[in-house]
Structure 1
Amino acid sequence: MTDLNTLKARGIIAQKQEGYFALRFLSNAGYFTAEEMMNLTEVARKYGNGELGLTSRLTLEIPYIKAEQLEEVLAFCEEKNLKIGGGGTSVRAILTCKGTVCKHGLADTNRITRAMDKQFFGRLLPGKFKISVLGCPNSYGKAQGNDLAFLAVREVKLDEEACIHCKKCVKVCPDGAFEIGESTLALRDEKCSRCGKCMPVCPVDALRSDNIEFLVFLGGRLGRKARLATPCKCKIQAEEINAVTEKVLAFYSEHAGSKERFAEVIERIGLETVEQAIFG
């Protein structure tokens, strides 16, 4: 049998129970079709213990596959076009949120993630590399825990001349970003998370936005040696995401040691140096 590390890289993960494996199945930006779910259920019932487990990266694992049945299971999965993978020193399954359908979503996260998945998933690197694409500031915490993350924000501007000082925006703002005077209202950029929740409640369209941008987070990592990433100074457009990702992966490949995470590279080299290399 192929060695366990090679199997793990293929999404075939040895359990602590000797002679058993868990298979990791890849979703399409967090979604499985109804037909795929029926076929996955058949795998779990016929070859596993009847259970299907969800992972934090929107994949699905079926445990208790016997070693002697692996070839038969893999043949069934190939026949049904079920994709297995997401391990080893490579780009892991790209994480996203429900921004495409969520009322708070500022971007079509499914479309962006699926395009990225085709270009980057499984690319071999010095260590594992986790990427996420997130649709609004509600997912700020998720962005901070990935090697590379893109988070959509709305550029909000207040037309103070048009404002009638009804203060409806003040009531819905989760950041306390509005400063109230006796007859004035001001928007403080340094407090604004750019979620855009204030815009729909303004009765005179004094709050405007012409642009959806993406914050870029570098070098986040969870686990024993956690490092929470903060946004880079530079914001980018949706069409720049893949190009920036290519630059980040190239930098990481050039500077990382074996199994060294991107967070460690940044701590060793310095965030300012890394940002300069990527954004110029």
Structure 2
Amino acid sequence: MKDSMACFNQIGYIEEKRIDRFAVNIHFPCGVVTSDQLEFIAEVARQFGEGTVRITLKQGIEITGIPANELQAAHRELARGGLTIAPAGRYIDAIVSCCGAQNCCNGLMPTQPLADRILKKWQQVELPNRITIAIAGCPNACTAPLLADIGVIGVAMPEPRGMPRGHSPTERFECPEGAISYSNGEAVWKQDLCTYCGQCIDFCDLGGWKLAKKGFAVYLGGQLGRHPRLGTKAAEFLSEDETAALINRALDAYRQGANPGEKFADFIQKFGIEKLK
């Protein structure tokens, strides 16, 4: 029985607390799922499980309560529908992504192309331990990238043009971070307070701010769990190509240099981010 359970867990089935019951976690890159897929999953849940599903923290869908003797049949049915069971073992656990500049009003950078690019290269590559990657299209960071092994955030740097004289204070952009002040009709930018959210660039039509540059900021070594820590900024204002290259270097170094079972956050702290730049 233990051998059977080990085999089930290796495939990606999750043993539940109840005897002889398992859950199946279906992976959706960037959390994007079609209405047809939702209907198909509902039918599989009714046929092989208890008719219920659970939305996971990593943008997957988990079908619960599947008896052990129905797992293979459920697996075949999911494969017939083109659905992928989230891998077990030492692989990329998930790439959690917001909708980014494609759909979100706050989004500064497109997120899904980068996520697809990373998955295509690394999804089937075994690593020393599981890896979580989180991508956010803006500094609101709704996917919690600072707490992921690898976190990516879209950022935009403003460039002050100077506030045209004669405009009333109600027309001036009030920065929520206090990074902008006004003196004698001129805008003053405090870069150390700026989060690079880009809101001042989009504000009204006064022309007081323009885009200097934008791109991705990359953070390495964050983690949740019993000993959470924030990731360390490795670089910022990178293009998609530069971001993918940095992530590839980090994962290559981890795959080749970490001990089996060593967490990415522990390895990066020991290895040193400077070596990846």
- Output the TM-score relative to the length of structure 2: 0.91
1:263 matched to 2:241? The reply is no
Deviation at 1:20, TM superposition (A): 0.9
Deviation string, structure 1 residues 126-149 (Cα, Å, up to 9, x no partner): 011111111000017701110011
- Checking the alignment, whether the CA contact within 8 Å between 1:149 and 1:217 is kept in structure 2 is yes
In structure 2, give the amino acid aligned to 1:40.
Answer: I
Question: Which AA in structure 1 matches 2:28?
Answer: S
- Corresponding residue number in structure 2 for 1:159: 161
Q: Which amino acid letter does the alignment assign opposite residue 92 of structure 1?
A: D
CA distance 1:47–1:158, shift in 2 (3 Å): same
Asked if the contact 2:151–2:231 (Cα under 8 Å) also holds between the matched residues in 1, the reply is: no
User: Structure 1 unaligned runs (5+)?
Assistant: none
Displacement of 1:250 in angstroms is 1.1
Which residue of 1 is the match for residue 26 of structure 2?
25
Cα distance, 1:163–1:205 mapped onto 2, change above 3 Å: farther
What does residue 143 of structure 1 align with? 145
1:72 paired residue number = 73
1:55-204 equivalence runs, <5 A: 55-99=56-100, 100-139=102-141, 142-160=144-162, 166-167=168-169, 168-171=171-174, 173-204=175-206
Q: Secondary structure at the match of 1:40?
A: helix
Q: Deviations over 1:167-196 (max 9, x none)?
A: 54542x221101333443201111111111
- Name the residue aligned to 1:53: 54
Contact kept, 8 Å, 1:29 with 1:95, in 2: the verdict is: yes
- Paired position in structure 1 for 2:209: 207
Q: Answer 1 or 2: which has greater strand percent.
A: 2
Given that 2:177 and 2:194 are in contact with CA atoms closer than 8 Å, whether structure 1 keeps it comes out as yes
Aligned residues: 274
Q: Residue type matched to 2:33 in 1?
A: F
Q: CA deviation at 1:155?
A: 1.5
- In the alignment, the residues of structure 2 paired with residue 232 and residue 164 of structure 1 have an alpha-carbon distance, to the nearest angstrom, of 42
Indicate conservation of the 8 Å contact 1:11/1:23, yes or no.
Answer: yes
**More divergent stretch after superposition (225-234 vs 68-77):** 225-234
When the two chains are superposed, the root-mean-square deviation of aligned CA atoms in Å is 2.1
Cα distance in structure 2, aligned partners of 1:213 and 1:34 = 32
Q: Counterpart of 2:93 in 1: which secondary structure?
A: coil
C-alpha distance in 1, partners of 2:246/2:59? 23
Query: Could you tell me the TM-score, scaled by structure 1's length?
Result: 0.90
Name the CA shift for 1:117/1:244 in 2 (closer, same or farther; >3 Å): same
Deviation of 1:252 (Å): 1.1
The answer to whether the 8 A contact 1:163-1:206 is kept is no
Structure 1 residue 226, shift from structure 2 partner:
0.8
User: Which residue identity does 2:182 align to in structure 1?
Assistant: I
Find the counterpart in structure 2 of residue 274 from structure 1.
272
Q: Match of 1:276, SS?
A: helix
